[in-house]
Amino acid sequence: MASEFLFEFEIKDKDIAARICKLKINGKELETPSLMPVYNPNKPLITPKEMKREFGCEILMANSYIILKNEELRNNILRDGIHKFMNFNGIIATDSGSYQLMEYGNITATNKEIIEFQEKIGSDIGSFLDIPTLPNAYKPRALEQLKITLERAREARNAKFLVNAGIQGSTYLDLREMAAREIGREFRLCAVGGIVRLMENYRFSDLVEIISVIKRNIPINRVVHAFGMGHPMAFSLSIALGCDLFDSAAYALYAENFRYITASGTKRLDELEYLPCSCPVCSKYGLELKELPERERVRELARHNLYVSFEEINKIKEAIKENNLWEFLGMRCRAHPELLSGLKRLTEQKWLADLDPITKKSAFYLQGPESKNRTEVVNVKKRLKRVYSENRREVAPFGKIPAEISDVYPFNSFNSLREWGKKKNENKNEYKIPDIEKIRKIMDYQFGSGAGELIADNVRIKRSRKTKRIRWIYEEKELIASVRASDHFIIPKMPLAEKLHKRFKYPKLRVVIHDDAIPFVLEGKSVFAKFVEEIDPKLRARDEVLIVDKNDKLLRTGTLILSPREVVDFDRGIAVRVR
Ligand SMILES: [Zn+2]
């Protein structure tokens, strides 16, 4: 891989396969998921300066082919560099002309020329000339075009910019898989290409399948760009699958046709009787927007379209942060039957559960039939097998839930379970579950069958005076664990961790760290992903883990921040927060 430019990428927050990341290219920082508005110097609607000032835009995209074909533009940009020419000091990505190739059939520049040109003008992110094969193309032709694309990718391997490497293969998942493996091995930024038509035709299920097969076959630390996906309607589905970058030419193209973008679809401006938006444009003009002179109307409409696109990204980021992205998807995808089919297809993606945190900040809300296959349900069902109990109650969609663990996330979100627990406490004659039984079953659920036996008969369990909930577990005078109020997960202290370490053999529950990290961990500092040597693949993000050295000596306990797959692939960011 080329290392001419500086590149950093790390996860800050996550939900499902979505992630909020810090991306740094050539010293310029960006938080993803992010939108790259496309700037066309031939038809400037909103200047790069305005994009930065008004929209807080840190990354832009420009088409290098358009520049290359316009002599005056080309000379100016070659002289000044693209940043100075565009008066924009953020990250500038350039496109290769693939889109023109798709629209007009052929272009008059070679792959090498286009790569060299992007190097000369100083693009931070550049592209090679991949061929966006249309959906449902004749398969031998899709394969032939893919082979040319992969050949051209090889020519871009040593480019002096971060290569936005297109993964093609039309709607053929086997071709997409082959392309993903090869591109994913070589390039740090992978683009899901050839999806514009799918978007335009509302084929969201196909889109989900294609992004999924790509994500499963590239390292999880690759930045993923949904190439040409500029309509906010599909942002949440794509981000849930782990897409990081979107480019929008749509904000301008739609405006030119007087089309008003909303997060759930597109309206014709002249047909609107109320404006469903309060962005600065809509607040300022109201319905008078329809009466503006044509040039101004297009420009203002472009601004509105860009406002709603950025707003949608922010809403999704907030949902990731609050861990209610599934609920957000449920809401968004009910805007159109094809989106709902896309959501249904999303819930069929088994690989998502491995990335999803095991406990979340927000309550679990059932929204409809598709909720029964959510990532949380997949993970919880596996863990329920660890718990033996005669005292169970059916709670859809999880199955029979042991009464002892009804306070644990996500069961604590269900009224039926809460009521059940309450009645038992009020009616003194009825059997009340002893606290120690609860703790033992939560141990089994969280760490594995048999973990509950580590809680001795003589432990002392203290409840919080304020909330009356179980909070601390003592053995003799020693605090061996606490119980987190928000989700009733058990946080083991060293004495209990030692017992878990003895009871469960390597590599279970373990994160094995490099010798260099030991002194830091012993001081209580976090374990960074690059210092993890091995990890139990059955763990989930937010699990409590045992931190050990290469000889399986227990060092500390901590909370896993990333999923095992992310810990293995990422070389930056915090993997375990040490206690
Ligand atoms: Zn608006």
**pLDDT score of 110:** 87
**pLDDT score of 2:** 46
Q: How far is ligand 1, taken at its centre, from the CA of residue 87, in Å?
A: 26
- Single out the residue of 25, 399, 390, 346 nearest to residue 206, CA to CA: 346
φ/ψ of residue 280, rounded to 5: -55, -35
φ/ψ of residue 53, rounded to 5: -70, -45
**Residue that has been written with the tokens 């999924």 in this structure:** 212
| Residue-wise pLDDT tens digits, 447-457 | 999 999 999 99
CA distance linking residue 542 with residue 540, whole number of Å = 6
Mean pLDDT of 46-55: 96
Q: Are 60 and 28 in contact (CB under 8 A)?
A: no
**pLDDT score of 378:** 97
**pLDDT score of 101:** 62
Q: Are 239 and 34 in contact (CB under 8 A)?
A: no
**pLDDT score of 97:** 75
**pLDDT score of 34:** 98
**pLDDT score of 71:** 87
Confidence of residue 424 (pLDDT cuts 50, 70, 90): low
Q: How far is ligand 1, taken at its centre, from the CA of residue 306, in Å?
A: 9
Q: How far is ligand 1, taken at its centre, from the CA of residue 258, in Å?
A: 13
Q: Are 513 and 548 in contact (CB under 8 A)?
A: yes
Q: Which residues are catalytic?
A: 95
**pLDDT score of 109:** 79
- Per residue, the 3-state secondary structure of 265-324, as one string, reads EEEEHHHCCCCCCCCHHHHHHHHHHHHCCHHHHHHHHHHHHHHHHHHHHHHHHHHHHHCC
| Residue-wise pLDDT tens digits, 259-309 | 999 999 999 999 999 999 999 999 999 999 999 999 999 999 999 999 999
Mean pLDDT of 89-104: 80
Instruction: Measure Cα distances from 7 to 111, 138, 189, 206, 544 in Å.
Output: 24, 38, 10, 32, 31
**pLDDT score of 396:** 87
Mean pLDDT of 513-533: 97
**pLDDT score of 102:** 59
Burial of residue 3, with CB atoms counted within 10 A of its CB: 0-12 exposed, 13-18 middle, 19 or more buried: exposed
Mean pLDDT rounded to a whole number for the chain:
94
φ/ψ of residue 542, rounded to 5: 75, 5
Q: How far is ligand 1, taken at its centre, from the CA of residue 193, in Å?
A: 29
Q: How far is ligand 1, taken at its centre, from the CA of residue 280, in Å?
A: 7
**pLDDT score of 321:** 98
Neighbours of 220 (CB within 10 A): 23
- Tokens linked to 302: 């472009």
Q: Is the per-residue pLDDT at 312 higher than 80?
A: yes
| Residue-wise pLDDT tens digits, 154-190 | 999 999 999 999 999 999 999 999 999 999 999 999 9
CA distance linking residue 134 with residue 206, whole number of Å = 13
**pLDDT score of 1:** 47
Poorest-pLDDT segment among 7-21, 40-54, 372-386, 490-504:
40-54
Name, in order, each residue with C-beta under 8 angstroms of 24's C-beta and a sequence gap of 6 or more.
6, 7, 8, 9, 30
Helix (H, G, I), strand (E, B) or coil at 532: strand
Mean pLDDT of 389-398: 91
Poorest-pLDDT segment among 3-17, 230-244, 384-398, 478-492:
3-17
**pLDDT score of 115:** 93
Q: Is the per-residue pLDDT at 422 higher than 70?
A: no
**pLDDT score of 73:** 87
- Single out the residue of 24, 20, 19 nearest to residue 9, CA to CA: 24
Q: How far is ligand 1, taken at its centre, from the CA of residue 528, in Å?
A: 42
**% the chain with pLDDT above 90:** 87
Q: How far is ligand 1, taken at its centre, from the CA of residue 304, in Å?
A: 4
Mark out the alpha helices in 408-528 (DSSP H runs): 415-426, 435-447, 494-503, 518-522
Q: How far is ligand 1, taken at its centre, from the CA of residue 381, in Å?
A: 44
**What's this model's pTM, rounded to 2 decimal places?**
0.95
Q: Is the peptide bond before 507 cis (omega within 30 degrees of 0)?
A: yes
Mean pLDDT of 226-230: 95
Mean pLDDT of 56-68: 88
| Residue-wise pLDDT tens digits, 320-339 | 999 999 999 999 999 999 99
CA distance linking residue 238 with residue 204, whole number of Å = 10
Burial of residue 278, with CB atoms counted within 10 A of its CB: 0-12 exposed, 13-18 middle, 19 or more buried: exposed
Q: Is the per-residue pLDDT at 26 higher than 70?
A: yes
Mean pLDDT of 540-546: 98
Q: How far is ligand 1, taken at its centre, from the CA of residue 307, in Å?
A: 7
**pLDDT score of 388:** 96
**pLDDT score of 420:** 58
Amino acid present at 273: E
Q: Is the per-residue pLDDT at 56 higher than 80?
A: yes
φ/ψ of residue 360, rounded to 5: -130, 160
